[in-house]
Chain A
């Protein structure tokens, strides 16, 4: 305790003593007034000692000193003396950053212009900006949704972000196409595999719609088939081809490719959900059950097990 505060505490205790003596001599009201003043004085002194900068801090200490005369103040002195005191807070070496509100906290993507709150546009823009680094179907779907926003700035930003993802995907496709033209025979399989994966990604992410989607899937199938011809023992290529065929609505061809992938060593748990989907499209519901049950037993946390849990 610093000397000045020590003196102030002694003064408060002295006042409490004076109030006690006054009370014993029958001076009730002056005693009460001195006690109130001493309690207030104590509360003001100790509020900081207990880091009590909140509004309730003063009231709590005052109440302690007031309702427990003399002993309350003594107790407070003891607690303040025994409590480890914080040193002066060091200068902040960090910066505060604003965290963008997630889209679900924004009431609607399509509020009418008249109902828009100030700052809402900025919140939506920040939410979209937070999606910049992500690349998955949900992100692409959110960006597409934002392109229907009534606010032009939001639409433009969503489009710009989507276009940046498109640009990156098509640039890689173009580079691979260029490499395919110049590639020697031994590299053909890997370049076809690359192209199949890239076109598939365009379709899977949702970067293409309608005729462009059909084109992307058709081209992905072409390259996946060419890659399989070059490297018929690759299980992952057969899996890719199977998934492309499924998306193209060809369950029989998909099933052939997926079974081949399994035969070549692909873990059953990976192929099973797609095989089940192919069986479902072929209306072979008995096969759906068997495809989902087998890997669910062998790999309880796998994708097939999750699909099974969803349906049962």
Chain B
């Protein structure tokens, strides 16, 4: 753990609980966090970053605005010196058993606020459960052996044992974080998962409200990660345990948070399906500073350029390979077209290497370029089309930035992308299509749609006009910030 008191005299209004994003990782969520902090100068923020290992993250990619008064970071899987002298009593083991029933048991108990509160208070108590006791106590070893028999786990005992250690160690580390975190008037988790669990602990231990904003659906994204992993010790049984674990964290967060905010209605419905109370859900769409991008429109006035840009992190969920495969078909028809992959590659170097290899294997070295991270203002005016081939998105900021710059967008049919391109309501749809929508992982269809837009300047200009009108009407930063100002006001004045 490392902490910085940036402005010790000022208490924090809100503690933002961030998992694997701001300030170390560039991307849509990080940009959203940064803009939110900047746009609410009257609110003081304390930031808690949760990561896997220190080596996964380099220097901060953002400079903190002056209203950030405290920052601390924690790594859940970093080795640390244990002090094996803490004992644990039988009642704490019972609580652990209850937590396990909810998180990893074969027939999971549903989470409700009372259950989460009991667990939170147990983890807070000085004689309650702690990481060192979990690692070293005989009672815990006996408990794991007993649970293995009761769960009738499909995996070998060693895999089961290490999976339990890995999952619960993270939670006990977060329990330590919750004990020491400086006070705030309320807590705001930007995902479920570990950040959401920390929020749930704080909500009950400190009797302060928890606000939850989910950009993507955390459990869904973890499922993709687990499915993509080529091998996991213990095989599918371990995958299944991890999946249950993340789903359990999700329901615990939903049982503790109010409001539960989604970026669009599709994700709100999914939250309800996953256990969120419908009356606590709310939609606040992303918004951007449209004025910042207005000057770029003039640079795009002379029609579509033969450059297609992919802007985003080079990670599997963005499915950069489909973009590359689509470029193969585009170049076969129009050899002058270039594809620019603009975004950091550091988050998943192995995947970035695979993408480069695919470019070479398909003979696209002359047409496809990896440019690394660049400011959107620098890149957008040089493009003729923004292509987003993601497997999963919520309401991507990069699409809004392209719209505000007057750039049509070609996107996969995920998240809110279709309503962003084609409109949500009848009035919105009357503005016209701001580009094209294609199925996921469909390089040929992506290529045809891109060629069609680039080869038809009249349609391209029409899409350009629709893009600008739509972003100005529905996705401004003012609308988003006003909505959050209201949420924060309600949370600050909340009474237990």
Q: List residues of chain A with CB under 8 Å of any chain B CB.
A: 95-97, 129, 132, 147-148, 152-153, 155-157, 159-164, 166-168, 170-171, 173-174, 177, 208-212, 215, 219
Closest residue of chain A to B221 (Cβ to Cβ) is A156
A95-B154, A215-B363 known; A163 vs B321 contact (CB < 8 Å): yes
A96 / chain B contacts, CB cutoff of 8 Å? 152
- A215 vs B224: C-alpha distance when bound (angstroms): 29
**A159 and B391 contact, CB distance less than 8 A:** yes
For residue A275, give the distance in angstroms from its CB to the closest CB of chain B. 31
**B228 and A147 contact, CB distance less than 8 A:** no
- A177 vs B154: C-alpha distance when bound (angstroms): 40
Q: Which B301-355 residues sit within 8 Å CB-CB of chain A?
A: 316, 319, 321, 325, 328-329, 332, 354
**A160 and B224 contact, CB distance less than 8 A:** yes
**A170 and B357 contact, CB distance less than 8 A:** yes
Closest residue of chain B to A175 (Cβ to Cβ) is B357
With beta carbons under 8 angstroms apart, the residue of B220, B227, B332, B441 that contacts A152 is: B220
**B354 and A171 contact, CB distance less than 8 A:** yes
B391 / chain A contacts, CB cutoff of 8 Å? 155-156, 159-160
Select the residue from B220, B361, B362, B363 with max chain A CB neighbours within 10 A. B361
**A161 and B362 contact, CB distance less than 8 A:** no
A171-B354, A212-B325 known; A159 vs B230 contact (CB < 8 Å): no
For residue A58, give the distance in angstroms from its CB to the closest CB of chain B. 32
**A168 and B230 contact, CB distance less than 8 A:** yes
**A173 and B361 contact, CB distance less than 8 A:** yes
With beta carbons under 8 angstroms apart, the residue of A132, A147, A167 that contacts B441 is: A147
Chain B binding surface SS class: helix
**B223 and A153 contact, CB distance less than 8 A:** yes
**B441 and A162 contact, CB distance less than 8 A:** yes
- A155 vs B154: C-alpha distance when bound (angstroms): 26
**B441 and A170 contact, CB distance less than 8 A:** no
**A170 and B152 contact, CB distance less than 8 A:** no
Pairs A–B under 8 Å by Cβ, sample size 29: A95-B154, A96-B152, A97-B154, A129-B227, A147-B439, A152-B392, A152-B414, A155-B440, A156-B392, A157-B223, A157-B227, A159-B440, A160-B224, A160-B227, A160-B391, A161-B227, A163-B228, A164-B227, A164-B230, A167-B230, A168-B230, A170-B354, A173-B357, A177-B361, A209-B443, A209-B444, A211-B325, A211-B444, A212-B443
For residue A71, give the distance in angstroms from its CB to the closest CB of chain B. 48
Closest residue of chain B to A211 (Cβ to Cβ) is B329
Does B236 interact with chain A (Cβ within 8 Å)?
A: yes
Q: List residues of chain B with CB under 8 Å of any chain A CB.
A: 152-154, 220, 223-224, 227-228, 230, 236, 316, 319, 321, 325, 328-329, 332, 354, 357-358, 360-363, 391-392, 414, 439-441, 443-444, 447
A152 / chain B contacts, CB cutoff of 8 Å? 220, 392, 414
B316 / chain A contacts, CB cutoff of 8 Å? 160, 163
For residue A166, give the distance in angstroms from its CB to the closest CB of chain B. 7
For residue B231, give the distance in angstroms from its CB to the closest CB of chain A. 10
A215 / chain B contacts, CB cutoff of 8 Å? 328, 362-363
A147 / chain B contacts, CB cutoff of 8 Å? 439-441
B360 / chain A contacts, CB cutoff of 8 Å? 174, 177
- A210 vs B441: C-alpha distance when bound (angstroms): 13
- A132 vs B226: C-alpha distance when bound (angstroms): 12
**A210 and B444 contact, CB distance less than 8 A:** yes
For residue A290, give the distance in angstroms from its CB to the closest CB of chain B. 39
B443 / chain A contacts, CB cutoff of 8 Å? 209-212
For residue B294, give the distance in angstroms from its CB to the closest CB of chain A. 35
- A203 vs B247: C-alpha distance when bound (angstroms): 38
